[in-house]
């Protein structure tokens, strides 16, 4: 399972906005983060629809966080950008024979547990947590 690049871009945009003191134009976000301005605008539009950011359209407008960084979770961002991040399930309807049905039921149960664990972990990590992380210097 691989997340779309839009998830990465959205997290980076939110981290950048969280560090700013005033609204930031999309052009600046695109330049600073090396993301296409089209992607920046698309992501900001999605974040605005969900009331995570506010967009000011006037001449010196820009985008700023509406929601506090400690209230924006990774799970929320992933679900917005992916629409649904779910681990695929095997279909028992396409399987012939009893021997496989039992195995597939077990796998399905395992996948459900993995999905719940993953969702719970992502629900606990916020944009503020990412801002607060300390990264070791690389030489």
Residues with Cβ < 8 Å from 27, sequence gap 6 or more?
37
- The confidence band for 120, taking pLDDT boundaries of 50, 70 and 90, is confident
Q: Hey, how many other C-beta atoms are within 10 angstroms of the C-beta on 20?
A: 15
Helix (H, G, I), strand (E, B) or coil at 136: coil
Helix (H, G, I), strand (E, B) or coil at 56: strand
CA atoms of 104 and 61, how far apart (whole Å) = 54
- Domain 5-132 of CATH type 1.10.10.10: yes
CA atoms of 1 and 82, how far apart (whole Å) = 12
| pLDDT tens readout for residues 56-81 | 988 778 999 999 999 999 999 999 99
Sign of CA dihedral 22, 26, 30, 33: positive
The confidence score (pLDDT) of residue 116 equals 82
Tokens of 14: 């939110």
- Which residue ranges make up each domain of the chain? 5-132
Pairwise pLDDT comparison (1 vs 38), residue with the higher score: 38
- The confidence band for 117, taking pLDDT boundaries of 50, 70 and 90, is confident
| pLDDT tens readout for residues 87-98 | 555 544 555 555
């Amino acid at each position: 399972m691989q997340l779309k690049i839009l998830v990465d871009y959205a997290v980076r945009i939110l981290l950048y906005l969280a560090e700013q003191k005033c609204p930031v134009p999309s052009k600046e976000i695109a330049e600073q983060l090396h993301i296409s301005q089209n992607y920046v605008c698309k992501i900001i539009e999605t974040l605005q629809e969900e009331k995570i950011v506010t967009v000011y359209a006037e001449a010196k407008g820009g985008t700023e966080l509406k929601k506090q960084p400690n209230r924006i979770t990774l799970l929320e961002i992933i679900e917005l950008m992916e629409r649904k991040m779910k681990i695929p399930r095997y279909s028992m309807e396409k399987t012939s024979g009893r021997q496989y049905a039992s195995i597939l039921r077990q796998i399905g149960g395992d996948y459900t547990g993995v999905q719940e664990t993953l969702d719970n972990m992502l629900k606990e990590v916020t944009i503020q947590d990412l801002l607060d992380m300390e990264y070791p210097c690389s030489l």
